[in-house]
Amino acid sequence: MTMKKNSSGSANKPMRMFLYIVLGLTALCLAGAGISALSNRFLPQTPADTGQISELDKQRLAEAIHLRQALGDQVWPAFGQMDIPLILWNHDYSFLVGPAQLPQGWEVMTGDDFQGRPYFRQKSDDPQNFAVRVGDVWAASMATKSETDAFLMQVFRDLLPPLVEGIFPYRLLIQPSEVQISAVAHESFHVFQQRRAPERLAAAEQAHQLGERYWLTDPAMEEDWRKEIDLMYQAVQAEADDEAARLARAFLDQRQSRRTRAALSADLVDFERQLEWEEGLAKYIELAIWRAGFASPDFQPILSGDPDFKGYHKFPGRLKQELSQMKRQAGQAGEARFYYTGMAQALLLDRLNPGWQEKALQEGVWVEDLLAEALQ
């Protein structure tokens, strides 16, 4: 009887262990859900008064200006020196800072200022993140950080089922303030392009109309694109310069082979080149200005009291994240692919051909041409 009792207890031991594990995991899940739900109650809120720039958004905008003026010339000659008006917008209003005179269609903000100077306001009407014409000048337009955070969280809320929507950890979606600050530099570079090469920017904008034809051809190029992007991914991360150059040559060879196999027409080849020039270079500025803030020992940020600002110290992680995102672009329709491939080529040019920026805005010079030149 004793032997039988011990045998039965031994047989039940795995079942008890399984139940303990299940109960433990269930408890952890419930605890995690509770912590997530509690955390969601203290998420950053959209400013109650959307009719003016909040103090924190003013500080972030001032930091974006400070960063570009201090380090912009290191990233691209004369970029830091250029006087670039800025638009900061939310879903209700757009705010314009920089111009000395009141533009038509805008009103002066009364009882408020930005860095001791008046700024202007108008109702938001389909605002966008890009270079926007305001009267006779161009301004860099960018959403406030709170607007962007709220948009991302709402997208996920709309996608999630009701039982998950309340406990999803939305705080993971909140980006560091450096993302918004460097995005202001991205849009500011479009203004720089417009002033230095207005015909080229206009041509690049015109090229977007070819997108419908391009994406019809894209599925047949998916595997070739995957190889091409992987070669660029490896090249950017290569430790030795000669290895980076070898992989860059393989990238250019693979690019030519893809276009030949797909019988890509000349205008669709230019579609790729135009978007890499327009958006790829702006995406490069976004990372390069962050890198400069991270790597410059004498640079001191002026932004303080912002819990989402990390003093540019998170750049290595951001670069890794952006390169990983580039690898996911093959097979995904959409112009974001060229933001990343243009950006990666520019990062590689920093390594293989310092000073390449001097030629990049010249008529008929593409990013891939500069890379091929660097490898000769």
Rounded to two decimals, the pTM is: 0.87
CA-closest candidate to residue 306, choices 5, 64, 15: 64
Amino acid at site 121? R
HSE-up (13 A, CA, CB side) for residue 26: 6
Please report which helix (H) or strand (E) contains residue 141, including its range.
strand 137-143
Banded model confidence at residue 28, pLDDT cuts 50, 70, 90 = very low
Separation of alpha carbons 90 and 143, rounded Å: 6
Report the first-to-last Cα separation within the chain, whole angstroms.
Answer: 87
In the prediction, which pLDDT does 152 show?
Answer: 77
User: Mean per-residue pLDDT for 156-178?
Assistant: 74
- What average pLDDT does the structure give for the chain? 89
Separation of alpha carbons 151 and 143, rounded Å: 10
In the prediction, which pLDDT does 37 show?
Answer: 42
CA-closest candidate to residue 188, choices 58, 105, 281, 108: 281
Radius of gyration from C-alpha coordinates of the chain = 25
Per-residue pLDDT tens digits for 77-127: 999 999 999 999 999 999 999 998 999 999 999 999 999 999 999 999 999
pLDDT surpassing 90 at residue 336: yes
The structure tokens 């990666």 sit at 344
Separation of alpha carbons 332 and 165, rounded Å: 27
Beta bridge partners of 142: 88
pLDDT surpassing 80 at residue 198: yes
Angle at 89 between CA 88 and CA 93, to 5 degrees: 125
